[in-house]
Structure 1
């Protein structure tokens, strides 16, 4: 049996790395011929990422990690982080892959390089894979519908000469193959509406078309319409492999202070009635300014529902932070007396062990920024979402959960914020928040049952014979079986 090696290149940031490692584990569990090398790009030191890499290295000897040299870059400029930085890493990737190839050639027992698996932002690395004569595959951490939207807008731009930035502020609706319903232009991802970001994202979509295939963190039962639309598509659309949901369900908090925080959160949840708590969390970049924090607090209090709120500091004005910090004292930003008045019914936390919280039987609703991982987790655990998207493609995700699936409620589906946030924002009122929370927690039994049924399907998809299990097998067949 020929041994094969895949080179994974994730982008910076722990969330993309977590998902990529979970995919790697699935591949290794399925095929003993495989080994995987991760090339790690880090513009700056990141202890959380280092801890995670160390834990995986100890647990699995068929995954190895190689740190690429650090290049000077502006950590506060997201376009630099996502694009210029990645482009600058190409020579380092070439050097490391050359070493792997030499090692393979010098030892008959060493695996043969069989392909690159690239993060969605790392399409420039296709050039490097081509130099080594191996195929490139994309690992997409967003939805199948998002892939369809990107390919649709890129074709619209390149073939029909339509400038998508002209949709900004428009009431237009777009009809596209990947969605069953017309998409309002107001929920298009910001990178399609911004003249500075658009060229880079058109480049990504062109790179997707050049790849040998696209692994997507979704499952057929969730996005059957979008997935089937690719097989009907004309032109150079590569095959897709829906192998999800890829979730990191084994919490790795590194012990210490975060472990103590988890015990405190679990104890509080244990004391709450079944399905009575609304959980609020806005992701790794989801902090709000004081005005908005006060409106959320008032909306929660007026709703009368029990709550667990992950309250994080926003980044300094005009800067981008992938890991926001907790407030030293939440009283500084909350309404006067709020903590005292809600001492029995609510709990304010900073860092949140999200999958543990969503798995807890006392949690009955989730106010979320609609990151794709969060949506998959909410489905897995059968917890309905109140959508409050912030950035990237989260408005599209909110549209999917509310309109396409009919499984969530809206707080403000077209709310948006840029990565380089200047501190200005449209404040969502306490009344809107209260209404959304009431709709969420009073969601009809029929919708809750439908969501739980979908959660069951997400588990079955990964089991032997399930849709994602089958698609993963096809991916292995298309890669390893073609090793020369």
Structure 2
């Protein structure tokens, strides 16, 4: 059988890249004819992408990755320093960035095709290069569908959020296209509820992503949804037992392309054995520590940090707190670590909690969540973090910040009952509607109440999470629903191979 190649184009950012690499590993491990090239769009301020790619290169000779690494390659696309991207709205920023990268994607694909033709004419059939089978694009890279069409190859989507969120996006598009209902009107009427097929509970407008509530970004999100709907298939990072209603709603109609639930796509390998924080956890009782971490873009004001500190101390719960300094106002850049926690929390708090708590900067999240001492996770509700938490059987308390995290929080608490609520509709100023956002402070009592509920040992939530943890692992086993779904996707790719 001839070798074939898929070109993955993830949205910029380390989270999307890591998910893409894990997806690529699964694909090439399942079919020896498959090759993957990942086109990496590196943000100007991104510092972790190069480190991550280097770690893959250095580990490929000594890990299970070595058997498949030869069939996964990376091309880091150039960055146009002459183009200034200053928009603080993440949706607009990422869309602009993808448009700027479009010519570089075109050049990279053209160069690959020229190389393949030259090599094919010179080599024997058995040594011939892979045949280009399609693009696999991320949600903020749907503009690359135009490039795929120029080369006459099909486009697939790797959707790194939930199946329920995908169904919501298609529903919002239908509201606009068929009923002329504008979701931006809900910004001033957050008490509106949407009845969405595949979602059991009415969805409050207050948990809709900020980008569909804003006049400048909502049309772009609808465009992304329409392009995804026009693709040859959508890989979703979820599994059947977790989102059966949404998956059924997406699959039992010809309105949508084939949907393949292939998750959970994550990397559960530990990388920080022997670190100080892991050694500290080793000395704590099982399920006794609450872990607070708010993702790669999560930082809070000093006033909010004070409320968190009061809540932690009053709760009396052991804790690990990933505390990071927010970027300047209106700057779409990641938070940074404090040189010293006493810059933002009082020395008295640090002294009083020295025996039961640890404040750190960037957190090795997988290492911490996988530790038996962790009993709960106060999370921003990014979808990758949710899947990791469920994989390791750790219940969550929801504190969403931006993007689709409010909807994820709603799904975890109301739909799945796998977490407790601190907030469902909290939004970080600057990620919602720009500089005029009112800064909302979650008070210490709300936080403490959420933490206490989260850490209840015999709660129904904790029992359900343990059950889902087992199902998440079973989904990927031979014969499991995600295993079978990935097989179906590979078959689809082979059927849709473009003519030479």
TM-score (norm 2): 0.92
* Residue 206 of structure 2 is aligned to residue 180 of structure 1: no
Aligned to 1:69: 78
Aligned counterparts of 2:312 and 2:43: Cα–Cα separation in 1: 39
Cα offsets for 1:220-258 (capped at 9, x unmatched): 1100000000123453x1111110001122355xxxxxx
Cα offsets for 1:157-179 (capped at 9, x unmatched): 12211110111142111101021
Q: For the Cα contact (< 8 Å) 2:210–2:431, is it kept in 1? A: no
Q: For the Cα contact (< 8 Å) 1:57–1:65, is it kept in 2? A: no
Identify the match of residue 83 of structure 1 among 83, 90, 95.
Answer: 95
* Residue 234 of structure 2 is aligned to residue 222 of structure 1: no
* Residue 45 of structure 2 is aligned to residue 35 of structure 1: no
Q: For the Cα contact (< 8 Å) 2:138–2:158, is it kept in 1? A: yes
Q: For the Cα contact (< 8 Å) 1:143–1:218, is it kept in 2? A: yes
1:482, CA displacement in angstroms?
Answer: 4.0
Aligned counterparts of 1:129 and 1:144: Cα–Cα separation in 2: 25
Aligned counterparts of 2:345 and 2:152: Cα–Cα separation in 1: 58
Aligned to 2:112: 100
Aligned to 2:302: 290
Aligned to 2:25: 25
Structure 2: runs of 5+ lacking an equivalent = 61-68, 121-127
Aligned counterparts of 2:403 and 2:92: Cα–Cα separation in 1: 16
Q: How does 1:208-357 map to 2 (within 5 A)?
A: 208-233=228-253, 235=255, 237-251=256-270, 263-322=275-334, 324-357=335-368
* Residue 180 of structure 2 is aligned to residue 166 of structure 1: no
* Residue 402 of structure 2 is aligned to residue 391 of structure 1: yes
- Secondary structure at the aligned position of 2:23 is classed as helix
- Secondary structure at the aligned position of 2:397 is classed as strand
Aligned to 1:7: 7
Cα offsets for 1:281-327 (capped at 9, x unmatched): 011111101000000000111111111100000111111113x2111
Aligned counterparts of 1:156 and 1:443: Cα–Cα separation in 2: 43
Q: How many residues align?
A: 475
Aligned counterparts of 2:329 and 2:99: Cα–Cα separation in 1: 27
1:336, CA displacement in angstroms?
Answer: 4.7
Identify the match of residue 142 of structure 1 among 143, 161, 167.
Answer: 161
- Secondary structure at the aligned position of 1:464 is classed as coil
TM-score (norm 1): 0.95
* Residue 225 of structure 2 is aligned to residue 205 of structure 1: yes
1:442, CA displacement in angstroms?
Answer: 1.4
Aligned counterparts of 1:80 and 1:230: Cα–Cα separation in 2: 27
CA 1:345–1:76 in 2, change beyond 3 Å: closer, same or farther? farther
Q: For the Cα contact (< 8 Å) 1:310–1:352, is it kept in 2? A: yes
Aligned to 2:54: 54
- Secondary structure at the aligned position of 1:433 is classed as helix
Q: For the Cα contact (< 8 Å) 2:145–2:155, is it kept in 1? A: yes
Aligned to 1:255: none
Q: For the Cα contact (< 8 Å) 2:85–2:96, is it kept in 1? A: no
Structure 1: runs of 5+ lacking an equivalent = 253-258
Q: For the Cα contact (< 8 Å) 2:4–2:34, is it kept in 1? A: yes
Q: For the Cα contact (< 8 Å) 2:92–2:217, is it kept in 1? A: no
Aligned to 1:256: none
Aligned counterparts of 2:424 and 2:47: Cα–Cα separation in 1: 34
1:12, CA displacement in angstroms?
Answer: 1.1
Aligned to 2:130: 111
Aligned counterparts of 1:347 and 1:53: Cα–Cα separation in 2: 30
Cα offsets for 1:336-381 (capped at 9, x unmatched): 5000011111111111111111111111011111110111011101
Aligned counterparts of 1:17 and 1:43: Cα–Cα separation in 2: 12
Q: For the Cα contact (< 8 Å) 1:365–1:386, is it kept in 2? A: yes
Aligned counterparts of 1:313 and 1:76: Cα–Cα separation in 2: 20
